[in-house]
Structure 1
Amino acid sequence: MQQESQLATPYFMIDESKLIDNLKKCQQLKQLSGAKLVLALKCFSTWGVFDTIAPYLDGTTSSGPYEVMLGHETFGKETHAYSVGYSEQDVKDVADKSDKIIFNSQSQWQRYRHLVPEHCQVGLRLNPERSAAGQDLADPARAFCRLGVTESALDKTLALGLDGVMFHMNCENKSVSSFAALLDHISAQFSDVLSQVSWVSLGGGVFFTWPGYPIEELAEVLKQFSLAHQVQVYLEPGEAVITQTTDLVVTVVDIVDNGKKTAIVDSATEAHRLDTLIYNEPASIAEASQDGPFPYVIGSCSCLAGDQFCETQFDQPLQVGQRLTVQDSGGYTMVKLNWFNGLKMPSIYCRRVNGSIECLNSFEYQDFKHTLSRKSISSI
């Protein structure tokens, strides 16, 4: 059996046992609430573990055409399609592969609904202009937001033709009371529409797999909302499904001291863990010690000056060749991998329940070379 210490860094390691722990919480929520759960592929599209995820969830939801195709081909069950802006060709490409297609605006719905086949239900994203999100960049109800139709702009006569509606108004929301207040708000604001549709997607961003989260309370809130409006409720978990399941393992390749000791590792947030930079949220290192006497910047090997994972402390000085584990690196990482600086792309592994390590993907120079051009050098 292959040992993890033999694997070349950098690499992602998905722990199937931890993934199943989260999925059991998903199953519990479904059973108690009657809600259906569809995996948000914008967060996690590593289809090599869909065999583990699919038995617990009801399908996938997408934010772009290729995600629709991936969910349809590799996950099975329900395939939900959504896009902030479809082209005509996008709708043609995904409509026959989708069980539900959700439009972001009334104009898109009017322009393309004739392309939607009879088997596919039609939904519209609504913007409640209220949300629970800690980052303005990710706030789906921020000022002047283009995401969804506001109540004041909604043509109620057009809404008569809808099968369902979608709201997305949370980002890592760990509070049941906060979520319940949002449901009360949309119940009052969109009561006419909710009485006409058969299903409502409440989006993602509800962090119900967080340790200590009261799943029973959330289930009751969802159940009461469903009963009040006589609708099938959907949630679109992404981070909630894969939180704390995946690590990024890196190696210290150099240590420099330009006023602070910096351990340079064979990875980069810009290329491999982009949200660390985008949201300015420092990573956590498993080997670090909160009160350790040896402070280090964990810096990337990219040329971007501010590209670093975090600043933290250790009980012992770090050494070149030492491995470090960047914890909780599953969500919005592998879907955002890029070839910045021509850095080596992390391999993706899964540690299965039986202890075996399965390689889901690995990358070579030819993958980098062919990303932007396929023309042979001899023809130039």
Structure 2
Amino acid sequence: MQDSSLKTPYFMIDEVKLVENLEKAKQLKEISGVKLVLALKCFSTWGVFDIIKPYLDGTTSSGPYEVKLGYETFGGETHAYSVGYSEADIIEVADICDKLIFNSQSQLQAYRHLVEGKASIGLRLNPGVSCAGQDLADPARKFSRLGVHADKIEPQLMEQLEGVMFHMNCENKCVDSFIRLLDDISAKFGSYLDKMSWVSLGGGVFFTWPGYELERLGETLKAFSEKHSVQLYLEPGEAIITKTTDLVVTVVDIVENEKKTAIVDSATEAHRLDTLIYDEPATIQESSEYGEHEYVIGSCSCLAGDQFCVANFEEPLKIGQRLHVMDSAGYTMVKLNWFNGLKMPSIYCRRENGQVEKLNEFDYSDFKRSLSQWSVS
């Protein structure tokens, strides 16, 4: 199957690039002894789990459906976490998860009896410090509902736990800042950590970023693990799939209003939502920093501010030309929606042997069924 025969928009996952990230994950595990569980909230495209499974130890979730998906399609350890469980949620996942992490002490008290004897019980703690670039994604932001702060801990409840989870990073590319966070955690929570059998340090540690001090990170994790005599976990998402996937789109029109806008058959609102939410412009593979021809890469949705980026090109863009929106795996396929009734991108994987494998495609029936369903008697 040739790329030129595929109808846009579509995601193309590159197995070679994915394995490059996974080899770094393997190296980190060997140095540190840390276990890695894939954060399904970032990437849940289970059609490529056969590539990822040999390298990681399992999955972690943010809701009951992710728990079930990890259990059914990935295996290994299945970690269950949610900001707010219902009793029905707990009953649904308790028998299929290895670790169940509560977000609050009130939920721990209410539902612990449903989990005991089935899964290892943990609690999320909030260190009050973090490394996050935007307030929206900062777990330590003011009035945060995420985890228990040190001054709110009820010591008798901590005796009922086997582990705790922290999540205080978002695309942290700096080992030094991570070390500072770990030092702060040890100072605030060390007496509790010493009594645990496992500690998850969450996700957001971007150890596959070019130039990242991987060995130093590994040594730091090993030292922390030995200091508190715990099995450490990280919950990578972006670190596993970064720079592995393009969203391929086609220019369907070019309009001009002081600036030229190339309208493509995709939308950030529907297909690459974080571009819009965090106001972080996408990168176009065909663009050139010093190109003379500037275009707004505009979405085909009706939302006025819905655009991918502003980019320069060596040659004028043409209607029918394809563009590759780079690094489009994380928080994209898990956030796809039917805004404007736009065609949802298909999902493909280019395997190491060069063959393109179709993982999924969507049509009008999927759109229609997502909104209502009825039967004719």
TM over 0.5: yes
In the TM superposition, what are the counterparts of 1:100-111 in structure 2 within 5 Å? 100-111=99-110
**1:148 corresponds to which residue?**
147
Contact map agreement 1:245 1:328 (CA 8 A) in 2: yes
Query: What is the CA distance between 1:192 and its match in structure 2?
Result: 1.5
Point out where structure 2 has 5 or more consecutive residues left out of the alignment: none
Q: TM-score, normalised by structure 2?
A: 0.99
Q: Distance in 2 between matches of 1:285 and 1:248?
A: 10
Runs of at least 4 residues of structure 1 off by over 3 A? none
Equivalent residue, structure 1, for 2:198:
199
Aligned residue pairs: how many?
377
CA–CA distance in structure 2, aligned partners of residues 364 and 186 of structure 1: 48
Cα deviation, 1:200-219, whole Å, max 9, x if unaligned, reads 00000000000111100000
Name the counterpart of 2:344: 345
Match of 2:367, as an amino acid? F
Tell me which residue corresponds to 1:59.
Answer: 58
Q: 2:284, 2:324 within 8 Å by CA — same for their partners in 1? A: yes
Aligned-partner Cα distance in 1 for 2:363–2:244: 25
Specify the alignment match of 2:325 in structure 1: 326
Q: What is the CA-CA distance between 1:375 and the residue it aligns to?
A: 1.1
Q: 2:257: which partner in 1?
A: 258
1:161 counterpart SS class? coil
Give the equivalent residue in structure 1 for 2:92: 93
Task: Please report the TM-score for the alignment, with normalisation by the length of structure 1.
Answer: 0.99
Say whether the 8 Å CA contact 2:94–2:118 is kept in structure 1: no
Measured against aligned partners, the alpha-carbon deviations of 1:175-229 in whole angstroms (never above 9, x if no partner) come to: 1010011000010100121011100000000000001111000000000000000
Amino acid at match of 1:38: V
Indicate whether 1:30 and 2:20 are aligned: no
Matched ranges for 1:171-210 at <5 A: 171-210=170-209
Query: Which SS does the other structure have where 1:219 is aligned?
Result: helix
* Mapped partners of 2:159, 2:178: distance in 1: 27
**Counterpart Cα distance in 2 of 1:352 and 1:374:** 37
Which whole-Å deviations, capped at 9, do the CAs of 1:283-337 have from their partners, x for residues lacking one?
Answer: 0000001010000000000000000000011000000000000000000000000
Whether the aligned pair in 2 keeps the contact of 1:262 and 1:296 (CA below 8 Å) is: yes
Q: Which amino acid aligns with 1:310?
A: C
1:164 aligns to what? 163
Q: Secondary structure at the match of 2:42?
A: coil
Equivalent position SS for 2:219: helix
After superposition, the C-alpha distances for 1:37-62 in whole angstroms (9 at most, x for unaligned) are 00000000000000000000000000
Cα displacement string for residues 350-370 of structure 1 (whole angstroms, at most 9, x for unaligned residues): 000000000000001000000
- Gaps in structure 1 of 5+ consecutive residues: none
Which one-letter code corresponds to 2:290 in the other structure?
D
Deviation at 1:119, TM superposition (A): 3.4
- Give per-residue Cα distances to partners, 1:3-30, cap 9 Å, x unaligned: 0111000000000000000000000000
Q: Percent identity?
A: 72
Deviations 1:91-124 (A, max 9, x none): 0000101000000000000000000041310000
| Cα distance, 1:258 vs structure 2 | 1.4
1:141 & 1:280 partners in 2: Cα distance? 21
CA distance in 1, matches of 2:291, 2:111: 59
Q: Is the 1:68–1:81 Cα contact (8 Å) retained in structure 2?
A: yes
Residue 40 of structure 1 contacts residue 204 of structure 1 at CA under 8 Å; is this kept in 2? yes
Aligned 8 A contact 1:96 1:117 in 2 = no
Aligned to 1:270, what secondary structure does the other structure show?
helix
